[in-house]
Each structure stands twice: as structure tokens, then as C-alpha cells.
A and B are shown apart, each in its own frame.
Chain A
């Protein structure tokens, strides 16, 4: 975890990228490529990309691909790789040297997060240019938290704009406003902005940070770019998807004059990724999809505003 304190001055120099998802259909308009930055100041309990939180490289273990060759145990210098361990790696002992990844024959062990120079990343993103053009798509920066790497993200967005590629960002909203305004805002066309919990204590409890910076940033953003912001709320049963919380969010939107927003349906199938990096799914989280009826109730609260779905 990166500790950033209350008034973050932010911005790490170089991000690791942990995934580049091409043919992404739900991260903004059209067909897109989504770039996932590694590292986040929040650690939401329900995070769909748990491997995105820690900014440092991690080793993932994927049991389906493991051939039980034992090569990892042989090369491991710290004794972290253990054949009898169903999750292969004792995370306490592991120093993340990735020697085991090198020798693993079936790609059961993989390194999560690699540095990728901007030019190289842009060349990958341009591969799908025709798909963006016909569909009104483009590139979305996601994570993790892209605003954690303002300079890198800024040069990436500039390079994309130079190529006339539509740009979007998915952010947790926890950033230094002036830096964001200067380095990212001029180059980004759509901002998908997470609004999770209105109660600050709850926010702290479930995400590891309070929410006042986030809410202030949202207000500023709406003032400057009212048409380019889509605030989004992940529906987490009994946590964010309570009538009380959603009503409070809805009232906030009304007061800010928001015209469109999004609700992200709950999907517990993604949680299994936590286990690949040696962590456990929080028992607080429901294991079931939301019933259509429950989801409909949540939507009703926002019936006055356009609910965007990609």
C-alpha cells in the first residue's frame, strides 16, 4: 500500500501496467481498449481487480495452469514456493523476485504488472484503431487508479489525442485537483467517476479512505465539464446498494445538476482473483448475483436521471 496521507500531493513517477484489455465493450462508448494501471490509494473490499491495488509487481498463481512440475520450488531462494501449499506461495516469505515465473512451464505462475514505455503502449493501443473509428470507441485508462501517475497518464493521453483517439478515464476521484486539472483534464473526453458511499465513516471502513476529497473533486469536475462526467456507483449488497446510501447519492446528483450517471451491477464471480494473489475474499460480501428485482429497486431511485449503460 502506498500511504498518501490526508492531503495527497500524489503522483508516482512510473506506473506498472497489469493488463491491456482490447475489445472492451463496457468501459465507455464503442469498442475500446482499456489500460489497467497498478496501484490504488483505496482498497475497496469488493475490488474487481484486487491485483490492481498494490503498485509493486506481484506474483499470481493460477492453479488450473499449474502442471506440478516443481520447477518453482527448485529455483525459489526464500523457500516461499511450496509444492504442498494449494496456493503454492507462502506470501510471508516471498520477496517477489519472479524467478519462479521464469521457469514455470505452464504459465501457472505469472508476474502481475510490467513497466511499459508510453510509445510502446501507444503502439499497442493503435492496433485497434479501425475498431475505435467504426464504433465511436477509443481508449480508457483504468486500474488501479490512473491519476496516481499524473505525468505518465498525461503523456499517454496527449499521445492518444495527437492520434485523434477518443480518451476516457475511470477514476476513484481521490486525486489532487489542480494537478488533475492541469495534467489530465485537457486531454480526456470522458470521466467515469466513482461515487461509492456518502457516509464518510462507512467510506473509510470499506475503502480505506474518507470521501471528502472525492466529493469535492466531483463538484469541481461537474462545474467545469458537466457533459463529460459519468458518476458511477458499484452496487454492493448491504454496503453501497442500500436505499439510504443510494438516496443520498441521488440527492447529491440532484444538487449538482447531474444529467447522467451509471450503476454497476454486482458481480461476485470476479472476486476469485483475490485468491490468485494469496488473499481471501471478505466474508462480508454476498456470493450471489443481485436479483433483478433488487437491481430494479436501486434503479428506481435514479429514475429521474439518465442511467448510462455501455
Chain B
């Protein structure tokens, strides 16, 4: 084992790549990684069983939502089975399985109900489940929750409102609170710097200082809920400690025995006390994470800037003789823990939107709260662990400040990207910080941002900002604009407002007004629904543990769901931006400027899916006025659309008194929504995937520098919920500095985020045919990473045909 020990920083004197540390030199990581890929995920009933039991038998109907939640999580964590399932150096598991699927019964767990008998045999992403478990879900668990989910509570409270029925048509938007609200970064710094006992004491003191007003009664319930639930975490840790001790007793291997004894000792101390070693800190963070995942889904529940939070203890241990190899191993253990559960996806959504991991984002590097270079040795240790493990979760995000961070750091990021093919992604500190400041986040807090979920910048441990609460299919607003408030899928039934018929529209400006009317209406529906869902959470699902680990809540005495956090935004992701801009630009160019075709004829062409209109289609498609090209017309339309969406969303208030921000990232939804959408004036045919994130339509951006300049030109303060620019490079055997230079230039021009797949097309083609040969081939989808084999066919196709440039020559690669 490599055992380079140094007293202070290695970055000044050593190989930043840590090449001598490999999976062969770390057999534990290799073993755990193999185990991870060799394990079929299993559905775990522990959480729904405990939740159902508590709600049926122990809940006091008089309890406020906060108090009920506090008591319930105390119960759940006290009764959660302590599991040490393999020789990972961190104790505890999210589920009772090696790789588990958590069912959150108040969320969308029931969507798997009709498929319980088949889910273990389905072709894509099967999940294991036993007969007894199926019966328990059928008869004990699901029936209880039928009318108690967020979806059904919101429906009942609001009289089955139009906005909710609109979402259920799938093609317009998805309000994601029905399956998660967890897009946030918990304040792990508090876990590491204070320990939970300190927070419990704070809650107790605050509780004791309260009076008798009704406001104070609510606060009292909140502070009690914090104490109850955090005490639950301490019980869970104590159970882990006891388990490790008893396992140690039975263990014959002296090395493993010693590990278990140490683990027992660690769990008896953290997270109650403040950790004093690097290993304790990692355990503390992990145990808290396990607890948080009982309360809220792991989807986009992001650990944040661990290289900052953990650095002081890392440094301390390095000074006391910890080797770099040990550090990489410990970090690797956390990475493999983070992927110990996968999200639930029923077959239909698997088909449309499947393949997603949980998007648990780690953020590395960038600048600190004072604006100084924050890249440290631990950043490089974490990069090495990422490079060696190549797992889709955690989703590794690298921050880079073009004026402050070192060039060597950017080069190392590029190297890791080349070696993993898909990670990390790159965030521009300068633009992200400005975007957050535009949302009222203080400069210091903006500098301490982490990426949440896919790409969304949020101040770490201070923002409760469900950054992916709305996923909106932008082209569906075009449909409504073309057909006077109707959608081709729903035929004659009017849906949106009846706007002017295109044949009567006499100018492009007039068309934009029509489109704006439909967009504003659609946004209104989506926001109303999200707010309905938010209020349903307030009624049935506060999050006391999340609140204890969020700045603001303890001061205000309020749960995050009530607006307790310091910052309270909601983020909406727009799908299909480049497609809509190309459609607008085609209409402007060919209908109004050149008068090459009438609006009616253009609509006839798309109604016939361009059949019989191939020449017109070719004319539109070969136009150089496109999003991502050197087109002033497309730039102007993109500016207008992004500005309009930003202003309209900013004008809305969420249920916590915060504002809505807009982002352009799409996960796999661009493929799913594409399947459901008809032909469009951009030349696109029915059913084709939309371009991902803020990426140009494939083939429309032949010049990489033009594409980057186009995207960098967009006003990033209008994109406060982040964007994913997804590009592809043909791999090269050399690590040319020109890759890093390309990113550097993009950031200097103001670009916000960019990410690259660097994988050979032949590999993709072969993986499509022989998925069994590529269990761990992972790719960037639109913000997060996924295993290629898990993606649905249209998503695989979208990645294969995505804009690609050659890493050596810089040329666009077309096939």
C-alpha cells in the first residue's frame, strides 16, 4: 500500500493525480465496488413498515404536524435495524439491503403497486422483492397510505384542481413534490463543528425561553420535534456501536476485529459529540445522512462541499500520520455508501424518464467565503477517489474560479473527466455567485454555494430551495400557441387560453405575445400546483432533522417547510429551451422575414409530420439561424425567452414566502417529453428527443467556440437555478491543455456550467447491443450521471447523437 506521509500540504510537492494510489493498492475499495455492481437492488420495507406502524398505532391525533414528525422519526430511528453489511469503514446503511430501494409511503411509493408481481423480473432496472414483502405492501402498508400521500392530500384540500389534472396529462409539466422535496444541502458543517448534542441543547434552551403565545406554542412544538428526532439519531448511532462491538467479539480475523472495535468506539461518540478525527467526521456525516434519508428521499439530497467541511480534520490527521492512501480509502468508503440506495421507478416512468440515479451532488473546489482559493489537498483526494471508483452517485461537481483558482487544478479536473469519461462537471464560480446574489443571497453566502441535484447552485446549509420542484415542457407552450390553446395530443379539447389563430398573426412580435400568454398561463398552473403540494407537506410532512441542519430554522423556531431556512427559493427547470428558440427563429426567419412560407402552411407541415414537406423541412433545418450558432436572431430570441421566463417566475411567491428561480437542466425528461411531442417548426419530427439542458439541437452547433460563446452570452442572473450544457468529446489518448483552455475561455465569457462525455461512439453502440458487457459504463445525462445500460432507448440515442467535437482536432464529429 502506498503510504506517503507528509506533514502539511502535498499539493506543492507531489503528483496532484495521486497516481500511485490505485484500486489494486486499495483492495477494500475494489471489493466494495465489485459488490456494488454485482448486486441487484432490492426493495426495502423497513421505512414504510415503521412509518405505517407509528401512524396506525402510536400517533396522537392531537399532535401538531411538527410534533408528530419529531415523535415519528424518533420512533423510526430507535427501531431502525443497525446494519454493518460489508467491510466498509463507515457504519450503517440507508436500507437493510446491500443496495436498497427506499419506499416513501407518503410520496409516490404506490406507483409501484400495480407492478409488485413483475418488478423483480422486468428487463430494465429490476428490483428484488419477496412474496412476503409483496403481501405486506398489498395488505398492510399501501392501503393505509392511499389517501394520505402528498398527492391525494393536496387533491382533497384543493378540490381536485385543474392544475393537478393538467399535470396528470404528463405533457405539460411535472410538479415533483409528489416524489421528493429534498433538493438541498444540509448543514454538515454543524455536525462536524458542533455535534448533535450541542444542537439538541440549543433547541432545549430555546424551548425553555418561550412564553405562552400561540406563536410560541408552534415554536415549542418545533424545538421539541428537533430534540426528539435528533435523539432518534443518537439512538441509531448507539445501536450501531453495540452491533459493531458484538460483531467484534465474534470476529476471528484480528485486523477486522480491530476495525469493528474502532467503529464501535466511533459510533459511541459521533454524531453526538463533535468529531475529532477525519474518520469520525466521515462517520458522523454518514450517520446523519442515513437519518435524513429516512425523513426525505435521497433524490438530489446533496452532501455539498465536503472538501471544505472535512478539511480541518483531514489536515489534523495528516499531520498525525494518516497516509494519503488511507484518506482516499476513507473517502471512497463514503462514496460507496452514498450509492447504497437507488430511486424507485415504475415501468411507465422507467420507459419515459428512467435511468436516473439519485443525483446526490458533492461539490469540490472553488473559492471560500472570503473569496480566496478554496482548493485543498482533500479536493485532490476526493478527485482521486472519484476517478478510481467511477460510480454515478455521488454526482461530483467541480467549482472553478477563473481568476482565483490555479490552472493546475483545472487541468486535473480535465484529466479526471477524460479518465472517467463523464465526471466531474464544471461550474463557473464567478457566474454562479453573481446569479445567487441576484436572488438576494449575501456575497459570503453566495461564495459558499454547492451544486444541488444536477447543477443548481444553492448556499450550503442555508437555502431550502427545492431546486427541481417544477419540470416544464416548454415546447408544450408552443403547441398551445399554435393551436389556440389546444394540444395535438388532447385534440379538440381546449386547454390553455384561446389565443389568436396563427393565420391571423401578422408579425413576429404578435406571435411572441401569443406565446407569452400561453407560457404565463402554464407557469401559473405549475406554480399553483407546487404551492398546493407545499402546503400539503406543511400539513403532513415537516422535516425536523433537515431543519436542525439548516441555518435559520433554529433562530426562527420554524421548520424548513414553514420557511424556517435563511433562504427560501423554489427552482423550476425548463425542458427544450434550444428547441423552442429554434422554432421561434424559424418562424421569424421564414414566415415573417423571408416570407418563404405562410404560418398556416408551416403548421400544416408539422401536422403532417413534414411528410410531403421535405423541402421545407430541409430549408428550415439547414438554416444557420440556430441556438448555439453564430446567429444574432437566435441570440435575441433566446434572450427574450429566458428573460420572460425569469421575470414571470420571479413574480410568483412560493408557499414559504420565497421566490421562484429558473434553470435549464433536464435529467432524462427531454427524451421523455420528446416522445410525447409532435413535429415542430424547427424541422424536428414527431417523437424525437428534445436537446438536453441548455444544449443546442444536435447538428445546429457545428463550431464549439460559437456554441460556447452563444451560451456564455445568455444572462446567467436569469438562470439562478443553474444550467447543464452537455457536450461530447471524442476521446483522445493525450491530455491536451487545450481542453482546459476551452473551459477557461467559456468561463471568462460568463458561461455558468459545462459538462462533457468523453466516450467513443463505438463503445456506446456496443454497449447498446451488449449491455451486459458494460455494467459500469457511466455517462453524463443532463446534470447527473447514469449507467448507460439503465437508460431507455431514446435517451441512449440522444446521447449517441449529441453534439460531439474531437478532443485533438477540435472539429465537430458527425456520423
Please give the residue numbers on chain A whose beta carbons come within 8 Å of chain B beta carbons, in ascending order: 21-26, 30-31, 65, 67, 69, 105-107, 127-128, 130-131, 133-135, 137
List of A residues within 8 angstroms of B618 by Cβ: 67, 105-107
CB atoms of A134 and B809 under 8 A apart: no
The stretch that binds A, out of B39-47, B146-154, B223-231, B698-706, is B698-706
Q: How many residues of B contact A (CB 8 A)?
A: 25
- Tell me, yes or no, whether B748 is within 8 Å of chain A by CB: yes
CB atoms of A23 and B619 under 8 A apart: no
| A interface majority secondary structure | mixed
List of A residues within 8 angstroms of B810 by Cβ: 23-26, 31
List of B residues within 8 angstroms of A137 by Cβ: 741
Contact with A along B727-754 (1 / 0, CB 8 A): 0000000001110011011001100000
Cα–Cα distance between A23 and B810 once the two chains are bound (Å): 5
Cα–Cα distance between A224 and B619 once the two chains are bound (Å): 52
**Known contacts A23-B704, A24-B810, A130-B749; A30 and B619 CB within 8 A of each other:** no
List of A residues within 8 angstroms of B738 by Cβ: 25, 30-31, 135
Q: A22-B703, A23-B810, A128-B705 are in contact. List 10 more A-B contacts (CB 8 A).
A: A21-B811, A22-B704, A23-B811, A24-B810, A25-B810, A31-B705, A67-B615, A128-B745, A130-B745, A130-B748
Listed by A's residue number, 11 A-B pairs whose Cβ atoms lie within 8 Å are A22-B705, A22-B706, A23-B703, A24-B810, A25-B808, A25-B809, A67-B618, A107-B618, A127-B630, A130-B745, A135-B737
List of B residues within 8 angstroms of A25 by Cβ: 736, 738, 808-810
CB atoms of A134 and B741 under 8 A apart: yes
- Tell me, yes or no, whether B765 is within 8 Å of chain A by CB: no
- Tell me, yes or no, whether B622 is within 8 Å of chain A by CB: yes
Cα–Cα distance between A26 and B622 once the two chains are bound (Å): 28
> Chain A's nearest CB lies how many Å from the CB of B363?
24
Please give the residue numbers on chain B whose beta carbons come within 8 Å of chain A beta carbons, in ascending order: 614-615, 618-619, 622, 630, 703-706, 709, 736-738, 741-742, 744-745, 748-749, 805, 808-811
List of A residues within 8 angstroms of B630 by Cβ: 127
CB atoms of A134 and B744 under 8 A apart: yes
CB atoms of A127 and B622 under 8 A apart: no
CB atoms of A135 and B809 under 8 A apart: no
> Chain B's nearest CB lies how many Å from the CB of A297?
20
For A20, give the chain B residue with the smallest CB separation.
B703
Cα–Cα distance between A213 and B396 once the two chains are bound (Å): 58
Cα–Cα distance between A21 and B737 once the two chains are bound (Å): 20
Cα–Cα distance between A105 and B621 once the two chains are bound (Å): 10
CB atoms of B741 and A26 under 8 A apart: no
> Chain A's nearest CB lies how many Å from the CB of B699?
11
Cα–Cα distance between A23 and B729 once the two chains are bound (Å): 13
Cα–Cα distance between A30 and B808 once the two chains are bound (Å): 12
List of A residues within 8 angstroms of B736 by Cβ: 25
**Known contacts A22-B705, A127-B706, A130-B749; A31 and B742 CB within 8 A of each other:** yes
For B708, give the chain A residue with the smallest CB separation.
A131
**Known contacts A23-B805, A67-B615; A135 and B706 CB within 8 A of each other:** no
CB atoms of B619 and A134 under 8 A apart: no
CB atoms of A26 and B745 under 8 A apart: no
Cα–Cα distance between A37 and B808 once the two chains are bound (Å): 23
Cα–Cα distance between A30 and B736 once the two chains are bound (Å): 10
List of A residues within 8 angstroms of B737 by Cβ: 135
> Chain A's nearest CB lies how many Å from the CB of B478?
24
Cα–Cα distance between A25 and B807 once the two chains are bound (Å): 8
Cα–Cα distance between A137 and B705 once the two chains are bound (Å): 13
Cα–Cα distance between A131 and B748 once the two chains are bound (Å): 9
> Chain B's nearest CB lies how many Å from the CB of A266?
15
**Known contacts A67-B614, A69-B615; A23 and B705 CB within 8 A of each other:** yes
Q: Which 7 A-B pairs have the closest CB atoms?
A: A135-B741, A25-B810, A23-B810, A105-B615, A106-B618, A131-B745, A105-B618
Q: Max chain B CB contacts within 10 Å: which of A23, A67, A106?
A: A23
Cα–Cα distance between A128 and B749 once the two chains are bound (Å): 10
| Choice from B615, B742, B809 contacting A26 with Cβ under 8 Å | B809
> Chain B's nearest CB lies how many Å from the CB of A176?
32
List of B residues within 8 angstroms of A128 by Cβ: 705, 709, 745
Cα–Cα distance between A22 and B618 once the two chains are bound (Å): 25
CB atoms of A134 and B706 under 8 A apart: no
For A131, give the chain B residue with the smallest CB separation.
B745
List of B residues within 8 angstroms of A130 by Cβ: 745, 748-749
Cα–Cα distance between A127 and B749 once the two chains are bound (Å): 11
List of B residues within 8 angstroms of A131 by Cβ: 705, 741-742, 745
List of A residues within 8 angstroms of B744 by Cβ: 134-135
| Choice from A65, A69, A105, A134 contacting B745 with Cβ under 8 Å | A134
> Chain A's nearest CB lies how many Å from the CB of B751?
10
> Chain A's nearest CB lies how many Å from the CB of B712?
9
List of B residues within 8 angstroms of A23 by Cβ: 703-705, 742, 805, 810-811
| Choice from A22, A69, A105, A134 contacting B748 with Cβ under 8 Å | A134
> Chain A's nearest CB lies how many Å from the CB of B620?
10
CB atoms of A106 and B622 under 8 A apart: yes
> Chain A's nearest CB lies how many Å from the CB of B194?
42
Cα–Cα distance between A135 and B738 once the two chains are bound (Å): 7
List of B residues within 8 angstroms of A134 by Cβ: 741, 744-745, 748
Cα–Cα distance between A109 and B742 once the two chains are bound (Å): 33
CB atoms of A30 and B615 under 8 A apart: no
Cα–Cα distance between A131 and B704 once the two chains are bound (Å): 11
> Chain A's nearest CB lies how many Å from the CB of B517?
34
For A129, give the chain B residue with the smallest CB separation.
B745
> Chain B's nearest CB lies how many Å from the CB of A296?
15
For A128, give the chain B residue with the smallest CB separation.
B705
Cα–Cα distance between A239 and B738 once the two chains are bound (Å): 33
For B748, give the chain A residue with the smallest CB separation.
A130
> Chain B's nearest CB lies how many Å from the CB of A4?
32
For B621, give the chain A residue with the smallest CB separation.
A106
CB atoms of B704 and A30 under 8 A apart: no
